[in-house]
């Protein structure tokens, strides 16, 4: 049976033609001809029909200022639509493979494999019980696209789905295509570039959109599929809770002064309101279904008792329900459940205190239906609803708080100074001793509500902690129960947060601790000092009591972005791998359950890449079953905008995690041969030295400023957070996102591969070419960590275009260009050669669809790059030229499908 009416080539061809039609109609025929000439000239060179890009240069150089803007808009619009075409092709691939039971990385195949291997029901239940996957949405980087643009693109995507999956008459098809044409015409006239930076509230609403409009409905379908898959091979194995969703949007204060307590409170309130409204709607829908009369089915004792309790709580409402639904107990119960939901945001008593209480009422209905033999009703209507409530509670997504450790130190020092304590004058051990005693004593040390005359930074920190207790009282502990500390370097940095939480009774030891305090280890010194930091904390009386109150679970966050920016791609990956193993071994010795929180970005250099491969490549020692990771920027839309793709993402995450957990149970300590580790111990330091030499070479920062669009990226209004920590221009001070974004724009994706060749060559020089290559090929074939690392570098190398990068290098002063660019190209070329040699492949890309995608995109990105270079090279730009320059950044980001 054919599931689809179209294919990706049809979508690309028709959408591309539509862009041309709209361009001609909305601009002019001459503008259309200009864009077509640029497109065909770029394609001619890529196909080998032209010896160089001289003709493309001449065409770009000859554009008028007005025509430049039209060209940038045309190619940007094209990429936005082609991205939709490729998203639709992903859906086709998933549906077709599912229909043919040929999905790779599928939960179905894994369960069948487990059964064949002799995994019994008890072992499978234990594996599933261990798993908890927590995707955590962050606001940075915000997507380059405006919300208005995203909304229009979603509408077009829905029309493409209709054309592809429905059997339409010719008249109906024309009507749908007319609507697509209207949306593209509207898109053409819509500003692509933000005129103002998004506010934290905008970012929180953006994250909320995916939770509310996609994931909320997908979760029920996903669990239904999981349960059906399990039942094919196993009887009586229940599928437990496997996913929770969390968010930093509206609560991440690190480097963002605009995330105030008011923003966080508004985010919590809005998310709860969405969850309540969703559940209220579901209850109304259920009421239409559960019309069974009490004379035909015997409602359970528990349901009768629950209705009796409701009668005492809401006598008037119960009387109204009985009159409206006489002898219909399910409808009566659902009416009372809606009443309790209505009171969640109301001053009247009787509301549901949390999601668990609402779930308990839903379970009463489920048990009664089961007792009456109405399993089909239960499975179709109640179970998906139960999964939604179990996953989203009344919070939609739990929030994590985060701030930089320096701000906590400053706040503690100022607050206790009022009480005569010289915290600044203490050394590390003295600070630990003071904080421990202060936490364990019953009386508070400081009054956070009235701290006295303190700095703005301290006032902000103390206000946040004072609000922390109020948020938990109002929205429940689960709504906001994690505090992450950026740039943690010492045990006192963790104890400072515990102390501040204690002062507002979020913590009251030994019995009460309503927060997980999470050190974020992102520098080389912090990662290498993880044993020391955690060991000191675990032995600390106050922290040990807090850990016990939290069930002996320690969450540790690993920073991929800053690790990479500090050490380079290869060294950072090895440092993270080794230190994860070290942390895991230490926690196991201390009988503490480790939950790793992977701070991954969208790009390869920031920990990006396929999540299922990343999970399978983690060291066995770290796979406790619980895992948490960030989802950012365009990656959120790519994974969670379409329901079918979102469901497939959840399945792949679960599949990878349960397989990894099974392997970890069978081999708790990963067997890494000494020669592999020794190879990495040679390669990583050599790569780090090469990378740091580049960054520390006099003039490199100037070269980076001149040969990339960093100055434009910083002013793009991509997010509410400033682009740098202090406003100074240095690689160290610059945030990882604009660092990566700027290189990506130039098509020289240096953060994803630079120094990997130097590292490998250092190893080959030490052990010899023949023996070294044999070991490296063995590592690639048999070691998931090394294979994934090399595959990710290969992807970054494949997306690098040295010829285009040359255009940007030519913008730099000649001496800077000659000093840096040849070295970058040399490292790139040797990297390509080595990766191909080790992998045994004849090309860098291992996925055919990705090769096709890049082949489709490159000729269209090239004119945007050349136009951007031309604009960057102008000493004085008009306001119109500045707008066009910013538009080229959006267009290249859409073409590369990545910001930072």
Report the alpha-carbon distance of residue 645 to residue 88 in Å, rounded: 9
**Catalytic residue (choose from 404, 408, 493, 565):** 565
Give CA separation, 297 vs 34, 293, 300, 362, 523, in Å: 73, 7, 9, 18, 64
Token pair belonging to 283: 């209850």
* Neighbouring C-beta atoms of residue 122, cutoff 10 Å: 9
Give CA separation, 742 vs 76, 200, 620, 860, 877, in Å: 18, 23, 35, 19, 20
Report the alpha-carbon distance of residue 796 to residue 7 in Å, rounded: 28
* CA pseudo-torsion sign 613, 619, 625, 630: negative
Is residue 522 within 8 Å of residue 562, measured between CB atoms?
yes
Roughly what angle, to the nearest 10 degrees, separates helices 756-767 and 569-589? 80
User: Which residue in 827, 844, 842 sits closest to 790, CA to CA?
Assistant: 844
Q: Find the angle CA(61)-CA(67)-CA(69) to the nearest 5 degrees.
A: 100
Backbone torsions φ then ψ of 630, nearest 5 degrees:
-85, 150
Token pair belonging to 541: 């009386």
Report the alpha-carbon distance of residue 719 to residue 196 in Å, rounded: 9
Give CA separation, 731 vs 56, 255, 562, 819, in Å: 34, 16, 11, 18
DSSP states of 190-243 as a string? S--S-SSPPPHHHHHHHHHHHIIIIIHHHHHHHHHHHHHHHHHH-SS------B
**Which phi-psi region, left, alpha or beta, contains residue 553 (left: φ > 0; alpha: ψ -120 to 50)?**
beta
Token pair belonging to 58: 């001449």
**H or E stretch including 2?**
none
Report the alpha-carbon distance of residue 845 to residue 828 in Å, rounded: 15
* Neighbouring C-beta atoms of residue 463, cutoff 10 Å: 17
Scored b (16 or more CB within 10 A) or e, 545-558 reads bbbebbeeebbbbb
Report the alpha-carbon distance of residue 514 to residue 340 in Å, rounded: 26
Backbone torsions φ then ψ of 586, nearest 5 degrees:
-65, -45
**Catalytic residue (choose from 140, 278, 493, 897):** 140
Token pair belonging to 585: 């071994």
* Neighbouring C-beta atoms of residue 120, cutoff 10 Å: 12
Is residue 384 within 8 Å of residue 282, measured between CB atoms?
no
Active site residue 57: no
Is residue 785 within 8 Å of residue 617, measured between CB atoms?
yes
Active site residue 140: yes
- Show contacts of 279-288: CB within 8 Å, 24+ apart: 279/341, 279/358, 279/388, 279/389, 280/338, 280/341, 280/342, 282/385, 282/388, 283/334, 283/337, 283/338, 283/341, 284/334, 284/338, 286/330, 286/334, 286/381, 286/382, 286/385, 287/330, 287/331, 287/334, 287/335
Name residue, tokens 């267009």: 891
Enzyme catalytic residues: 140, 565
């Amino acid at each position: 049976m054919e599931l689809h009416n179209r294919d990706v080539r049809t979508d690309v061809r028709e959408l591309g033609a539509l862009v041309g039609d709209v361009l001609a109609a909305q601009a002019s025929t001459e503008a259309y001809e200009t864009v077509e000439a640029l497109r065909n000239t770029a394609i001619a060179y890529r196909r080998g029909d032209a010896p160089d890009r001289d003709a493309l240069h001449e065409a770009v150089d000859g554009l008028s200022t007005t025509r430049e803007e039209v060209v940038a808009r045309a190619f940007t619009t094209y990429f936005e639509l082609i991205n939709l075409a490729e998203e639709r092709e992903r859906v086709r691939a998933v549906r077709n493979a599912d229909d043919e039971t040929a999905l790779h990385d599928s939960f179905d195949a894994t369960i069948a494999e487990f059964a064949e291997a002799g995994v019994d029901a008890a072992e499978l239940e234990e594996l599933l019980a261990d798993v908890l996957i927590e995707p955590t949405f962050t606001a940075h980087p915000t997507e380059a696209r405006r919300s208005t643009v995203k909304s229009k693109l979603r509408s077009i995507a829905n029309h493409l789905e209709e054309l592809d999956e429905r059997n339409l008459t010719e008249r109906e098809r024309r009507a749908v295509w007319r609507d697509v044409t209207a949306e593209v015409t509207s898109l053409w006239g819509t500003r692509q570039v933000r005129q103002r930076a998004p506010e934290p509230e905008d970012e929180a609403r953006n994250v909320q959109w995916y939770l509310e409009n996609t994931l909320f409905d997908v979760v029920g379908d996903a669990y239904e599929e999981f349960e059906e898959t399990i039942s094919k091979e196993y009887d009586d194995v229940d599928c437990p809770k496997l996913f929770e969703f969390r968010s930093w949007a509206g609560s991440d204060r690190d480097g963002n002064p605009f995330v105030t307590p008011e923003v966080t409170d508004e985010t919590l309130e809005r998310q709860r309101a969405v969850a309540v409204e969703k559940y209220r709607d579901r209850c109304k829908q259920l009421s239409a279904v559960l019309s069974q009369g009490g004379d035909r089915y015997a409602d359970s004792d528990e349901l009768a008792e629950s209705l009796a309790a409701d009668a005492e709580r809401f006598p008037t409402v119960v009387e109204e329900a009985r009159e409206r639904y006489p002898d219909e107990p399910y409808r009566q119960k659902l009416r009372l459940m809606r009443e309790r939901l209505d009171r969640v945001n109301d001053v009247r008593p009787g509301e549901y205190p949390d999601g668990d209480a609402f779930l308990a009422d839903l379970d009463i209905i489920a048990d009664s239906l089961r007792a009456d033999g109405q399993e089909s009703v239960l499975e179709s209507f109640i179970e998906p609803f139960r999964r939604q409530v179990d996953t989203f509670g009344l919070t939609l997504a739990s929030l994590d708080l985060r701030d930089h450790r320096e701000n906590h130190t400053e706040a503690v020092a100022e607050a206790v100074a009022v009480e005569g304590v010289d915290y600044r004058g203490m050394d590390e051990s003295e600070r630990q001793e003071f904080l421990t005693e202060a936490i364990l004593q019953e009386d508070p040390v400081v009054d956070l509500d009235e701290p006295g005359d303190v700095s703005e930074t301290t006032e902000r920190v103390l206000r946040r902690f004072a609000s922390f207790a109020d948020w938990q009282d109002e929205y429940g502990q689960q709504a906001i129960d994690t505090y992450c500390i950026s740039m943690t370097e010492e045990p006192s940095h963790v104890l400072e947060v515990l102390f501040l939480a204690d002062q507002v009774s979020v913590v009251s030891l030994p019995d009460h601790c309503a927060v997980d305090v999470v050190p974020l280890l992102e520098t080389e010194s912090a990662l290498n000092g993880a044993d020391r930091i955690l060991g000191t904390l675990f032995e600390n009386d106050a922290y040990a009591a807090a850990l016990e109150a939290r069930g002996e679970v320690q969450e540790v966050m690993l920073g991929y972005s800053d690790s990479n920016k500090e050490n380079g791609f290869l060294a950072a990956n090895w440092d993270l791998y080794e230190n994860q193993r070290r942390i895991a071994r230490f926690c196991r010795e201390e009988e503490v359950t480790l939950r790793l929180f992977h701070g991954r970005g969208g790009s390869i250099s920031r920990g990006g890449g396929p999540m299922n491969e990343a999970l399978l490549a983690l060291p066995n020692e770290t796979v406790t079953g619980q895992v948490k990771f960030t989802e950012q920027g365009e990656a959120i839309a790519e994974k969670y905008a379409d329901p079918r793709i979102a469901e497939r993402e959840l399945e792949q995450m679960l599949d990878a995690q349960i397989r990894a957990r099974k392997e970890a149970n069978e081999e708790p300590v990963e067997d890494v041969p000494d020669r592999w580790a020794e190879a990495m111990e040679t390669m990583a330091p050599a790569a780090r030295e090469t990378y740091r030499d580049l960054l520390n070479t006099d003039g490199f920062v100037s070269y980076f400023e001149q040969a990339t669009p960093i100055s434009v990226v910083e002013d793009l209004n991509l997010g509410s957070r400033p682009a740098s920590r202090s406003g100074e221009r240095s690689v160290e001070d610059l945030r990882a996102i604009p660092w990566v974004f700027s290189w990506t724009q130039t098509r020289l994706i240096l953060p994803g591969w630079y120094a990997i060749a130097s590292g490998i060559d250092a190893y080959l020089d030490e052990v010899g070419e023949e023996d070294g290559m044999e070991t490296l090929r063995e590592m690639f074939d048999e070691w998931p960590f090394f294979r994934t690392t090399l595959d990710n570098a290969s992807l970054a190398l494949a997306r690098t275009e040295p010829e285009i990068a040359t255009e940007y290098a030519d913008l730099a002063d000649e001496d800077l260009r000659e000093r840096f660019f040849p070295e970058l190209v040399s490292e790139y070329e040797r990297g390509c050669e080595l990766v191909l040699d080790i992998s045994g492949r004849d090309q860098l890309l291992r996925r055919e669809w990705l090769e096709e995608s890049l082949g489709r995109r490159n000729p269209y990105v090239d004119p945007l790059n050349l136009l951007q270079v031309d604009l960057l090279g102008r000493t004085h730009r008009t306001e119109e030229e500045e707008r066009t320059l910013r538009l080229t950044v959006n267009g290249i980001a859409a073409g590369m499908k990545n910001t930072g």
